[in-house]
Amino acid sequence: MKATQAGGLTISTMRLEDIPVVMEIEDRSFPTPWSESSFRYELLENPYASLFVVRRAGDPAVVAFACVWVVDREMRINNLAVHPLWRGRGVGWHLLGFLLDFAREGGCREVTLEVRPSNQAALRLYRKAGLVPVALRKQYYSDTHEDAIVMSRALEPRPSR
């Protein structure tokens, strides 16, 4: 999928040179952040992974990112984060909409993810996008032993043109 612009934001494929800023967002967003080597692996070696960054149109600074896996006809959202200074401005909504379109264009029929029950902002975002809780993984997060809510959404096929 090519870069897209919406709402003054540009979403494009993550590059190696984006990793330092992505790491800053990651560190400020999660209790147990991914390592730089994890992002490098996803970018360079994982054939199922697609990583994206969000920038303000005309500005090189990354304000959000996502990492997804597409396996068969399912897209799994592994990581999605918005820089704290950009939260509450619709950035996550634009990124999630882009990811759902990316999944549809790739022939996916379902989107899944795991989210902490304590992450109320993410839960609101995912529910707004039509994802619903389908399971609970007890003590899923090793750092806090918090459960994970598994959320899912079926995707309608892209209409033929």
The Cα 50–Cα 123 span in angstroms is: 22
Determine contact, residues 57/6, Cβ cutoff 8 Å: no
Residue 111, pLDDT score: 98
Higher-confidence residue of 140 and 109: namely 109
Per cent of the chain over pLDDT 90 is 80
Residue 1, pLDDT score: 47
**Domain ranges within the chain, ordered by starting residue:** 4-154
Q: Which residues belong to the active site?
A: 114, 126
**CATH class held by domain 4-154:** alpha beta
DSSP codes, 5-42: EETTEEEEE--GGGHHHHHHHHHHH-SSPPPHHHHHHH
Q: How confident is the model over 28-67, as pLDDT tens digits?
A: 998 889 999 999 999 999 999 999 999 987 788 899 999 9
Tell me the mean pLDDT in the region 143-161.
84
